[in-house]
Amino acid sequence: MTEAALRGRRGQMKVMNNIYAIILAGGEGTRFVPYSTPEMPKQFLHITDSGRTMIQQTYDRIRRFVPADRCFVSTNEKYRALVRKQLPDVPNENIIAEPRKKNTAPAIALACHLIHRRDPDAVTLFTPADHYIADDGGAADAFRKAAELAANGDTLVTFGILPTFPSPDYGYIKVGGSFGSTGAFIVSKFVEKPDVETAKKYIGEGKYHWNSGMFVWKAATLIESLKKHMPKMAAQLETLKTDAQGGAEPEWVRKFFDEVEGTSIDYGVMEKAANVTVFPFSVAWSDVGTWKGLADLAKRFRIALPEVVCTHLKEKIGS
């Protein structure tokens, strides 16, 4: 092996030693009523007939390259017990429980600050708990490559999905030129959910990706971006108090979520920052956002569904 190859391998190993995965699991599953309820939302249910719930499948995916002690779950306080039951290998101090919903920016910012205090060189991967991904190995490979990109610079990396149909249910990312030889692209702009005709135009142009809601960056890079684009939130996080295990003190968390602005990480940081890149995620993916979307997904990939899910599908869409 050449010296250059050895250096590259050492660099990859260093990234893997500093990568942390955070599962975003705070949603209430309102789009899958009545199967999903506020007490038992979609991410904790069996949507496919795999024998694993959605959050368990997400955990299995990231465990391919992240050890259990570097896996975190960001969820609502009322779901802490469900997380403990379904993911018993995740350390209790790695469950970040929010007392109230305030969208993704506070949750992601808090996770980055907690992890940065543990490891100043941390690279943080964020993935929702309730997405379907067809190939766990392919996903893990994409996550690793994007993590290396994030570790070797100060870029905020978002994962883009090449559209397979003109969906009005996703936000879109317009890509610019290539970001060196990394396989990523410079983000030209973020676009809100379009109507179908506009989505058709986007697909025709060939320069738009679906916004997956998955991200990777150095915790330090996100913290610096918060200072620039959300300085009030950054200042609030500076007062963070942790317990003996490194978790945030519950009293501080309640105060933070009482006072912090509720907004998405896309609106609060990504749409404003200049150091954003999009990494193509070529693995078959769906956010399983609607009953019809689930039916189409199951048909496309010949996915077996639990009987209770089939019953609800017949009631909702008649098939």
Give the tens place of pLDDT for each residue, 116-135. 999 999 999 999 999 999 99
Q: How many CA atoms lie within 13 A of 244 on its CB side?
A: 0
CA 201 to chain centre: 27
**Residue 5 tokens, joined:** 């190859």
Q: Give yes or no for a contact between 257 and 100, defined as CB atoms under 8 angstroms apart.
A: yes
| DSSP-derived pairing of the beta strands 208-218 and 172-178 | antiparallel
pLDDT of residue 31: 86
Angle at CA of residue 24, ends 118 and 83, nearest 5°? 85
pLDDT of residue 293: 86
Angle at CA of residue 25, ends 20 and 28, nearest 5°? 170
Q: How far apart are CA 150 and CA 275, in angstroms?
A: 11
pLDDT of residue 227: 97
pLDDT of residue 246: 75
Does pTM top 0.85 for this prediction? yes
The residues pairing with 93 across neighbouring beta strands, listed in sequence order, are: none
State residue 7 phi and psi, 5-degree precision: -60, -40
pLDDT of residue 2: 44
- For 118, 242, 270, 278, the CA distances from 217, given in Å and listed in that order, are 16, 23, 12, 12
Dihedral angle of Cα 166, 104, 287, 160, to the nearest 10 degrees: 50
Residues of the chain with pLDDT under 70: 1-15, 319
pLDDT of residue 292: 87
Q: How far apart are CA 208 and CA 155, in angstroms?
A: 20
Q: Give yes or no for a contact between 98 and 24, defined as CB atoms under 8 angstroms apart.
A: no
Q: How far apart are CA 171 and CA 104, in angstroms?
A: 15
CA 271 to chain centre: 17
pLDDT of residue 14: 56
pLDDT of residue 319: 58
- For 73, 123, 145, 243, the CA distances from 253, given in Å and listed in that order, are 15, 23, 33, 12
Ramachandran category for residue 290: left, alpha or beta (phi over 0 → left; psi -120 to 50 → alpha):
beta
Q: Give yes or no for a contact between 219 and 116, defined as CB atoms under 8 angstroms apart.
A: yes
pLDDT of residue 289: 85
pLDDT of residue 297: 85
pLDDT of residue 177: 95
pLDDT of residue 248: 83
pLDDT of residue 10: 46
pLDDT of residue 4: 44
Structural domains of the chain, with CATH: 3-155+210-264+286-317 (3.90.550.10)
CA 214 to chain centre: 4
